[in-house]
Chains A and B, each alone.
Chain A
């Protein structure tokens, strides 16, 4: 038995030493066997893509020439996303007239040579009544089709077709269809009155939503995009209304004494956050839209305004001056557990919670100008997103969380801007001199 134990010990020792030897060998092997090269950030923040002029499939020479219209419009929409670098047609090596839109005849090396990663080719057939288009997205490095679509419609649908395919490209390359079919509502001032208008993401189709002949403010979309809530002085007091986009009639849902301001809608569309001053100073409430019951969230002598849900509806961000200056706070959806979010600057307002859940955008006063900022829910990684000498206010997230819309004023101009969530790619959506404020981004079409 004793010998056994000794031999066992000895065995264990040998096993251990062999293990150590092996581990050392392994370490050596991995240390010398392969070199790792670390690459931390890409040289380009955009996908390089080439779009050739579309090929006309019909024979008739008198029909509309849309070859360039299609390629230019697709380029325009892809540019709007801020994710694409459209390669100039001047750089193309391929004779566009000779090749069709199918993979045959495409020399992919000609496209990689000019730096393209992706290529779009298309064709259309217009018979006078019907327009049939075909779009193909190629991966020129792999030399294969990524996605291909055929659309049939009338000539009026051509923009819609381009938008749809732009969405397909975005989906194929980023996993999200984008927000080409969304609208942005905002308040357009005219003298002493204002109305709510809506405009497409691409800046087209400006359309009036309300016509109260009075001051109208603060539009907020319902989660299905069919309704809009807003505050109007139609009856002399700032009352809260809800209106179906496609109907002329607006329904008053809150007409308490003092202000009745709309916050954001809950995900299920059944509840609405409100700011009411019926009990003295401004406080936050939740209204059940089925029975109009109110639940008070804040009981405070300070002013609490601008409530917005987190995407999961478990938390609410809002503005309060309880610390002396307006700052952003976060609380649980039942009003408990209030935490201050912003500490930099002495005027931070209008929080908007990203649908992705990770960021809260707001405006802050810095060097006597309002600029757009965003910050993590826990207050981490605060970023200033706008820097010029205008006042930028009332930011609102796109439903994919990749863009922000906001209003700007300065230099005698009023503008609605769209930019990417990192502050890049700022684009004027609407511009006038009389005033446009308080933009709100619609959900996607369901």
Chain B
């Protein structure tokens, strides 16, 4: 019995290994294959920038100064208090403290000013860069939406299919296509057939009639983008 179990376990492991191997290979191929849609434009640099808005950046700066101030306050204070609490009178502590504080704070302020100058000069560039990138991001996102909307309306505007020739059930067809930089459509194929030839035909026709689409937005680095166009009969009957 144990032997059998072991045997099973071994074959199970082997199965998992083989499956894992195949999965890894296939997924690696899919992921790195140049012929498949590259996700790079959606992964683009815009995302990293989005997190640091100009206001957030300033706030971060303020927080940094406040933090450094409190540190600079506490550290010398601690020093003085630790050193002088036992020895000096209470009244003397504030004076010393104030002195120390003034000294320290002026030092710190100066240092901070220096840092601010330094950072300001160097940060103003990234900051504006970040801002412009952020604007790019918003703009390109909007632009992309606008682009997809234009495609949507073009295809919808060309789709002709009479009511009453479809089967009872709601059906759906998905056509995948590649839109080239100049807006031309390539590699159209069915990702999913609806099961109704006439529905599929009309969907394919609609895309063919609607193409070429407007050229891709400038910021897309790729030579083409992949889209899936889903045609439903749900709102149709």
Contact = CB atoms under 8 A, between A and B. Distances in A.
Interface of A: 8, 11-12, 15, 18-19, 22, 25-26, 28-29, 32-48, 82-85, 112, 117, 141-142, 173-176, 356, 358, 402, 420-422, 424
10 contacts: A11-B13, A22-B27, A29-B30, A33-B226, A40-B232, A42-B156, A43-B156, A47-B160, A174-B198, A402-B164
Nearest to B41: A32
A175 B209 CA distance: 22
B202 A42 contact: yes
A79 to B, nearest CB: 12
A83 B159 CA distance: 14
Contacts of A82: 162, 164
B228 A422 contact: no
A39 B159 contact: yes
A141 B208 contact: yes
B227 interface: yes
B228 A37 contact: yes
Given A43-B160, A45-B160, 5 more contacts: A34-B226, A37-B230, A39-B206, A46-B162, A358-B168
Nearest to B158: A43
B70 to A, nearest CB: 41
B37 A8 contact: no
Contacts of A22: 23-24, 27
Which of B39, B157, B164, B226 has the most chain A CB within a 10 Å cutoff?
B164
B156 to A, nearest CB: 5
A213 B19 CA distance: 85
B165 A175 contact: yes
Interface string B119-151: 000000000000000000000000000001001
Contacts of B148: 35, 37
B20 A42 contact: no
Contacts of A33: 36-39, 42, 226
Contact of A83 (B165, B205, B227): B165
Interface in B136-191: 148, 151-152, 155-165, 168, 174, 176
Nearest to A43: B157
A28 B208 CA distance: 30
A44 B159 contact: yes
A40 B234 contact: yes
Contacts of A11: 13
Contacts of A45: 160-163
B27 A26 contact: yes
B154 to A, nearest CB: 10
Contact of B9 (A8, A18, A35): A8
Contacts of A15: 16, 20
Contacts of A39: 152, 155-156, 159, 206, 229-232
Interface of B: 9, 13, 16, 20, 23-24, 27, 30-31, 36-39, 42-43, 148, 151-152, 155-165, 168, 174, 176, 197-198, 202, 205-206, 208-209, 225-232, 234-237
Contacts of A174: 162, 165, 198
Contact of A424 (B24, B37, B159, B163): B163
Given A43-B160, A44-B159, A358-B168, A37 B227 contact: yes
A117 B235 CA distance: 23
B23 A175 contact: no
Nearest to B30: A29
A356 to B, nearest CB: 8
Contacts of B208: 141-142
Contacts of A142: 208
Contacts of B226: 33-35
B235 A40 contact: yes
Contact of A42 (B39, B151, B159): B159
Given A29-B30, A40-B234, A420 B228 contact: no
A295 to B, nearest CB: 32
A50 to B, nearest CB: 13
Which of B27, B160, B230, B232 has the most chain A CB within a 10 Å cutoff?
B160
Given A37-B155, A42-B159, A174-B165, A32 B232 contact: no
A422 B163 contact: yes
Contact of A117 (B156, B160, B163): B160
A421 B163 CA distance: 9
A12 B17 CA distance: 10
A47 B198 CA distance: 11
A402 B165 CA distance: 8
Closest 3 CB pairs of A and B: A42-B159, A44-B160, A83-B162
A197 to B, nearest CB: 28
A37 B162 CA distance: 22
A45 to B, nearest CB: 5
A26 B28 CA distance: 10
A170 to B, nearest CB: 9
A14 B161 CA distance: 53
A176 B197 CA distance: 12
A149 to B, nearest CB: 20
Nearest to B23: A22
Nearest to A424: B163
Contacts of B155: 37, 39
Contacts of B31: 25, 29
Which of A15, A117, A356, A422 has the most chain B CB within a 10 Å cutoff?
A117
